Amino acid sequence: MEETESFRDSIATVDKQGKRNWIYAQKPSGKYYNARSILSYLYFIVFFVGPFIKINGRPLFLLNVVEGKFILFGAIFWPQDFFIFGLAMVAFILFIVLFTMAFGRLFCGWACPQTVFMEMLFRKIEYWIEGNAAAQKLLNKAPWNTEKIRKKTIKHVLFYVLSFLIANTFLAYIIGIDSLMHIIKGPVSVHAGGLATMLIFSGIFYGVFTFFREQVCTVICPYGRLQGVLLDRDSLVVAYDYERGEPRGHFKKQEEHSGGDCIDCLQCVKVCPTGIDIRNGTQLECVNCTACIDACNFMMEKTGRPLHLIRYASENGIANKQPLHFSTRYKVYSLLLITILSAISWMLISRQPVSGAVMRTAGMLYQERGMDSITNLYRIKLVNKTTGNILVSLKLEDTPGSINLLGQPVIHVKAEDQGEGTFFVVLPRKNIKDRKTILHIALYTGNKKTGSIKTTFLGPVK
Ligand code: SF4
Ligand code: SF4
C-alpha cells in the first residue's frame, strides 16, 4: 500500500531537529467563526466587567487563595466550608470527565480563555496589523525596514497592553478590584511587591500570547493530555468524514467525479492554529476550534458538493452511521454527578450564617466549683458569613448547666470576619455520669438559633 505523506509520528509544531515550526494560520471565515466571534465578545464583556460587579457590597466572584476567602455569586465561603469545596471539586472533576466523554474538547474551542484570547483577540489584531498568513510569513522573512519596524512595534505594544489588562483582571478575581485599585493608585514605594507581581504576570501573558501560543494547548495543558483516556467512539468531536471524503483527489472542472468528496485542497490544514491535518483523525493537538469546518464548507460550496465533510461527529457516527447515544458509563457518571450536585445544593441552602469551632483549653482537665459543680474551660472561634456585624450568645442544649463567657456578655463578630471568646461550661456534679459527656452548644443571634457546635465535657472518674 502506498504510504501517505500526511502520516506523522511527531508533534506538528516541532520539526525533526526539535525546532519550533511556527504556525502561520490562515484567517478563518464562515458560520462557525462568526458564532465564535459573537460569543467571544460576550465573553470579553463578562470577563472584564466581572470584577466591578458587586452583590450586597461583595464581588460577584473572588478566589482569594492567599487569605482563604472565596466568594461565589456574592456568597462568602471560608476555610470552614472546606467540605463543600471538597465536594464541589469532586463534582467539577466528574463534570469534566462526563463533558469530555460526551462533547470532546468543545470547551477548548469555545470557552477556554487560552483559545478565546489567542484566536479571537491576539490573532485578530495580528491579522489586522500584519495581514493574513502569507503576508505575516513574508514580513517575518523581510529585512528590518521602516515598515517592518512600524508593524512589529505597534503589534508588540498592543499585545503587552492587552496582556497587562488581562493579567490585572485575573488578579482582580483573586485579590478583589478594590485591593487592585489600591495597588495601582497607591505610592510605588508602598506597593512595590504588588506592582512587581502585576508586571511579572503581564510579562507571562505577553510571552504566552505572543510567542508560546498553541504550545500551551499541545505541550502544557493537562486537560488536552487527558483526551486520550476520556474520549471514546461515541464522543462528539470535530471530525473528517473519511467514509465520504476518501479516496481524496484533486478537483478538476468538467471532470466526472468518481472518488471521495475531499479535493485535497489543504484549506483545512492552512487554517488550523495548531498546524494539524484533521483528515488524520482525532489528534492531541486539535482544540476543536472549528476553523477547518468553515474552511472545508467553503470549498464544498465552491465545488458544488454537500457541506459538512468536516463536522461535529462521533467515530461511531462516521464509521457505522450510528446516531449519538448515552453509553452505560455516561449514565453512571451522570447519576453520580447529580447526587453530588444535590448534596452540594443542600449544603449551600442549609449553610448557617455563623459557624465556628470550640476547643477545650489545652493542658486543663476539669475544675471543681464549690461542692456541687464541675467546670471546663473552652475557647471558641466564630466566622461571620454575613455582610452585617452580629452578636452571638451561647447556650447549652439538652443538658442542665450554664455557660459563663469571660470578659463579655456576648461575642462580637464583625461582618465577613472572625471573632473569638473564652468561656466556662458549668455542669451540676450529680449529672456527670461518665468521664466524658457530650455537649451541644447552641449559637444564638438575638432570640434566633443560628447553629450548634458539638464538644465534650471532662468530669472526674467515677
Ligand atoms: S483540526 Fe480543525 S478543529 Fe482541530 S484545531 Fe485544527 S482547525 Fe481547529
Ligand atoms: S478542506 Fe475539505 S476538501 Fe479540502 S483538503 Fe480539507 S477535507 Fe479535503
Q: Whose CA is nearest to atom 2 of ligand 1?
A: 292
| Element spanning 419, H or E | strand 418-428
Q: Any idea which of 38-52, 146-160, 308-322 has the lowest mean pLDDT?
A: 308-322
Q: Whose CA is nearest to atom 7 of ligand 1?
A: 272
Rounded to whole angstroms, how far apart are CA atoms 217 and 167? 19
Q: 255: pLDDT confidence band, cut at 50, 70 and 90?
A: low
Per CATH, the number for 354-458 is: 2.60.40.10
Instruction: Tell me if 291 CB under 6 Å of ligand 1.
Output: yes
Q: 204: pLDDT confidence band, cut at 50, 70 and 90?
A: very high
Is the predicted pLDDT of residue 353 greater than 90, yes or no? Answer: no
- Strand 75-77 and strand 69-72: the pairing is antiparallel
Distances from the Cα of 51 to the Cαs of 47, 98, 166, 183, in angstroms?
8, 30, 12, 15
pLDDT of residue 362: 76
CA-CA-CA-CA dihedral for 47, 48, 54, 58, to nearest 10: 80
For ligand 2, mutation pick of 250, 267, 301 (most atoms within 8 Å of CB): 267
Is the predicted pLDDT of residue 348 greater than 80, yes or no? Answer: no
Strand runs labelled E in 182-299: 237-240
Ligand nearest to the CA of 241: 2
Q: Which atom of ligand 1 is nearest to the CA of 310?
A: 2
Rounded to whole angstroms, how far apart are CA atoms 48 and 161? 14
Please list the helix, strand and coil fractions of the chain in percent, rounded to the nearest 5, in that order: 45, 20, 35
C-alpha cell at 456: 465534650
Is the predicted pLDDT of residue 461 greater than 90, yes or no? Answer: no
Domain with CATH 2.60.40.10 in the chain: 354-458
For CA atoms 418, 422, 427, 433, the dihedral sign is positive
Residues with C-beta less than 6 Å from any ligand 2 atom: 240, 245, 262-268, 279, 295-296, 299, 309-310
For ligand 1, mutation pick of 112, 216, 289, 299 (most atoms within 8 Å of CB): 289
Is the predicted pLDDT of residue 5 greater than 70, yes or no? Answer: no
| Cα maximum dimension of the chain | 112
Instruction: Tell me if 231 CB under 6 Å of ligand 1.
Output: no
Is the predicted pLDDT of residue 93 greater than 50, yes or no? Answer: yes
> Long-range contact list for 40-45, CB < 8 A, 24+ apart?
40/116, 40/120, 40/121, 43/111, 43/116, 43/120, 44/121
438 contact partners, CB below 8 Å, separation of at least 6: 454, 455, 456, 457
C-alpha cell at 187: 505610592
Q: Is 456 helix (H, G, I), strand (E, B) or coil?
A: strand
pLDDT of residue 253: 61
Rounded to whole angstroms, how far apart are CA atoms 131 and 154? 13
Q: Whose CA is nearest to atom 6 of ligand 1?
A: 272
Helical spans, DSSP H, in 176-262: 177-185, 192-207, 215, 222-230, 242-245
For ligand 2, mutation pick of 280, 286, 294, 310 (most atoms within 8 Å of CB): 310
CA 288 to ligand 1 center in whole angstroms: 5
Q: 263: pLDDT confidence band, cut at 50, 70 and 90?
A: very high
Q: Which atom of ligand 1 is nearest to the CA of 28?
A: 7
CA 7 to ligand 2 center in whole angstroms: 16
Instruction: Tell me if 290 CB under 6 Å of ligand 1.
Output: yes
> Whole-angstrom distance between the N-terminal and C-terminal Cα of the chain?
91
Q: What is the pTM of this model?
A: 0.78
**For the chain, what is the radius of gyration of the CA atoms?**
31
pLDDT of residue 252: 65
Q: Which atom of ligand 1 is nearest to the CA of 271?
A: 7
Q: 334: pLDDT confidence band, cut at 50, 70 and 90?
A: confident
Q: 71: pLDDT confidence band, cut at 50, 70 and 90?
A: confident
110 contact partners, CB below 8 Å, separation of at least 6: 36, 39, 116, 288
pLDDT of residue 88: 78
Instruction: Tell me if 288 CB under 6 Å of ligand 1.
Output: yes
Q: Which atom of ligand 2 is nearest to the CA of 295?
A: 1
Task: Note the pLDDT tens digit of each residue in 207-246.
Answer: 999 999 999 998 889 888 888 788 888 888 999 999 999 8
For ligand 2, mutation pick of 238, 250, 264 (most atoms within 8 Å of CB): 264
Query: In 3D, which of 308, 304, 295 has the Cα closest to residue 267?
Result: 295
pLDDT of residue 36: 97
Instruction: Tell me if 278 CB under 6 Å of ligand 1.
Output: yes
Q: Whose CA is nearest to atom 2 of ligand 2?
A: 296
Task: Note the pLDDT tens digit of each residue in 30-58.
Answer: 999 999 999 999 999 999 999 999 887 78
Cβ count within 10 A of residue 321: 8
Q: Which atom of ligand 1 is nearest to the CA of 295?
A: 7
CA-CA-CA-CA dihedral for 77, 79, 84, 85, to nearest 10: 90
